[in-house]
Amino acid sequence: MKISTKGRYALRLLLDLSEHRGDGYVALKDVAQRQNISKKYLEQIVPVLTKSGVLLTNRGYQGGYMLSGTPDKYTVGMILRLTEGSLAPVACLDCDPIGCDRSDNCATLAVWQGLYKVINEYLDSVTLQDILDKQHADGGDYVI
């Protein structure tokens, strides 16, 4: 499993908005500049996050984006599932029940299920606030 640029940039966008949540609505151009990400690329990510209710949007003067909730409400797992789809390490785990004809006799299925469980448990245990807290404790910028 490899996290795409879309997933990584979505996480950076949301972390930036979390960091600047006291500023009200934040312009996408400001996030793009701070994160060194193309504004056009961020414009492709925002609709997914807005439609899912993660982001609030405001048009016009003082317009921009902000988190709809506090950073402790959003896990890395939730964000990556919105942008990446499934986090399954193998395709057969994308379906429930498992749709593979070989699943009854697959010697490696338990390995992939165990890995999938660990991935989900870990990513669902880390919130945006956890990342910000670690960044502040380390005294540096967050890097993803």
104-119 pLDDT per residue, tens: 888 999 999 999 999 9
Q: What type of residue sits at position 80?
A: L
Q: Quickly name the fold that domain 5-138 has.
A: Arc Repressor Mutant, subunit A (1.10.10)
Q: Where are the domains of the chain?
A: 5-138
- The token pair that represents 104 in the structure block: 């009854």
- Quote the percentage of the chain above a pLDDT of 70: 96
pLDDT of residue 33: 97
- The token pair that represents 135 in the structure block: 């960044």
Name residue, tokens 């996480």.
11
Beta strands (DSSP E) in the chain are 55-58, 64-67
